[in-house]
Structure 1
Amino acid sequence: MKLMFLLLLAFIPAFGQGQGSVSLGESMVSLTGEAQGTTYRIKYRDEQKRSFQQQIDSLLAEIDQSLSIYRPDSEISQFNRSMSHRFMSPHFYTVLKKSAEVFRDTKGAFDPTVLPLVEAYGFGPAKRPKGTFVNVDSLLQYVGFQHITFDSISVVKQKANIRLDLNSIAQGYSVDVVAGVLEKQGIKNYMVEIGGEVRTKGQKNDGQAWTIGIENPLHPARLQTTIKLHNRAMTTAGNYRNRYEVNGQVFSHIINPKTGEMEQSSILSVTVLAEDAITADGYDTAFFVMGLEAVKQFMVTRRDMDVYILYTDDAGQLKTFSTAGIKNL
């Protein structure tokens, strides 16, 4: 699950058709609408006050047609039902390529073949009854991105019953695609937010930086902090909204693909800043699975990203960890 910074709403991990509205300020254009099972909010400075909403909605629907596991006619659903698939759009290949990078760099903490486990725990499109027994050992044989091979033309399973779920990275990719639309039109100052994933460039009308808020996970109606974002993307993964409890056991949608178990971690949310949203989106859930100490070690050599983690100590008190690059923001 992704957390919404600006509106403090829960991200719904589904995809759907877009619809929205346009608001024109002095030179600031604001677009709002619904797409991919969530909402979007886009602001940009344009002296011509042009609206690109129709083009943006069309692109988001196109990505939905490629990557939504909630659509039986999508490319990814077609692949999940077969052993191979020839790409019909550039979206599937682009997101798979980034997924392979994050899978490799996090040593499997990010693994988009985790769908059988996600469904078994009662999340995703399968609508399995929540809280039922999950035979982890029997399902782990169907998890492993190493069993997927692909090039720019097609993707192939090396093992039957492997299925892909790219929801944990596709939203960030969508943000980048929308940002690309604006930049091709000469827009130099913008903020794109889809389901809580954000990318900015330039400044707002008043010359100030785009300021993005992060929720306090212990008090979700409150902001924990704000970050000034300049020419960067920012995404957050958290486990305190998309969850349920049965017989005293808490079930969370964040699952360790190596063990098959739901993460029982002191970490409550992970925010990642990167040059683009697909990178931030790919690593935020992986960092959640890796744990605080492993993330600290990982970030020593990764100067291209920054991270802000909210967690609880042994006394249940909220604590923070942030990399050096984020402290001045």
Structure 2
Amino acid sequence: MHKGSKKLAYTLSALFAGAVFGSGCVRTGDTVTTIDGFAQGSTYHIVVKSDRQRPEIQQAIDSLLGVIDRSVSLFNDSSLLNRINRGETDSVDAHIAYCVETAEKISRESDGMYDITIKPIFEAWGFTGRECDGDPDIDSLLRYVGHEKIRIENGRLVRTMPGVQIDLSSIAQGYSADMLARLLEEHGIEEYLVEIGGEIFCRGTNPSGTDWRVGIDKPEEGNFTPGADMQVKLSLTGLGLATSGNYRKYHTDSKGRKIVHTINPKTGYSEISNLLSATVIAENATLADAYGTLMMVIGLDRSIELLNRHPELMGYLVYTDDAGRFETYVSPALERHIIRD
């Protein structure tokens, strides 16, 4: 279970005319301000619909993303999360506490198929910038994995044994999108779309006065350009959305085996199934992010069962049938969000 040193797949692209990703780039029109930049090993893209310019927004965004980076990022060697993993401290901040506690609820529900203590396994397979050492001793590393081995208590991360480490990559960018949305609302902005690393939260309407339009990329190997070949377009507002998949993020080991980013925390090995991508729409991007990752681990049938148990979630699942043809499962409630033009 993981989304990798970068997100599992940038399978999500907001449909904006002339959207160009830059570094701290702000473009303002008559009623729209677009802000692009880089954060957490990926890009962010924010569109604000407003009749007033707010020059302080960029500074506030940069400040918030800096705070989150110094907290939950695995890219930042001095982040609080990395210092916790190295055993230098056990104190957590509000960002880590929220992500860990949210993850724990999903871990309990899924009987540990979603598990943020997967970091040693994921690292052993070479997905955190380190080379994979041939055949890693997965069995020896599995003793450090298990959501029941950690808990938050009085502002501290309590571990049942030394060596347990956490990786929030499967939830942190969704959380970051939600935090950016909250920031915008604190500045009086009520109509916006936030996208960071492919995770989205939007509210209100777009500049055309309709719900925001979001595209999900077709999960095919070789489809490396977001928006170039889309599976479906959705109309959304007041919701978070995240997509997980394996078709862009994988590597081949020394024996020629395809190692994908979706690692089963029970076995420590890649979980390969006919489910190619899972898009989840939820009340916030944090939940959408985590549930999307979980679905890639548990596969098509159990994902459909999960969606049936959670009417508050919507899902768009892309899979292959026995003949290798693309098929989709669409939650009934999601049908009305599909753009069919």
- TM-score under structure 2 length normalisation: 0.89
Tell me the alpha carbon deviations over residues 24-45 of structure 1, each in whole angstroms, 9 at most, x when there is no partner. 1111111011111111110011
> Which of residues 38, 58, 65 is equivalent to 1:53?
58
Structure 1: gaps spanning 5 or more residues: 9-17
1:128-277 paired onto structure 2 within 5 Å: 128-129=131-132, 132-151=134-153, 153-218=155-220, 220=223, 221-246=228-253, 247-277=255-285
What SS does the corresponding residue of 1:108 show, helix, strand or coil?
coil
* Letter of the 2:32 counterpart: M
Answer whether contact 1:109 1:287 (CA < 8 A) is retained.
no
User: How far does residue 82 in structure 1 lie from its aligned partner after superposition?
Assistant: 1.7
Provide the residue aligned with 1:105 in structure 2: 109
User: How far does residue 72 in structure 1 lie from its aligned partner after superposition?
Assistant: 2.6
What SS does the corresponding residue of 1:291 show, helix, strand or coil?
helix
Tell me the alpha carbon deviations over residues 167-196 of structure 1, each in whole angstroms, 9 at most, x when there is no partner. 110000000000001111121110000011
Answer whether contact 1:267 1:312 (CA < 8 A) is retained.
yes
Answer whether contact 1:267 1:311 (CA < 8 A) is retained.
yes
| Cα distance between partner residues in 2 of 1:242 and 1:159 | 31
Tell me the alpha carbon deviations over residues 295-328 of structure 1, each in whole angstroms, 9 at most, x when there is no partner. 1112222111111111111111111011111111
Answer whether contact 1:172 1:279 (CA < 8 A) is retained.
yes
Structure 2: gaps spanning 5 or more residues: 1-7, 16-21
Answer whether contact 1:19 1:35 (CA < 8 A) is retained.
no
Q: Percent identity between the aligned chains?
A: 36
- TM-score under structure 1 length normalisation: 0.92
| Cα distance between partner residues in 1 of 2:79 and 2:269 | 28
* Letter of the 1:60 counterpart: L
1:279-298 paired onto structure 2 within 5 Å: 279-298=287-306
Answer whether contact 2:219 2:247 (CA < 8 A) is retained.
yes
Indicate how the Cα distance of structure 1 residues 298 and 7 shifts in structure 2: closer, same or farther if over 3 A, else same: closer
Higher relative contact order, chain-length normalized (CA < 8 Å, sep 6+): 2
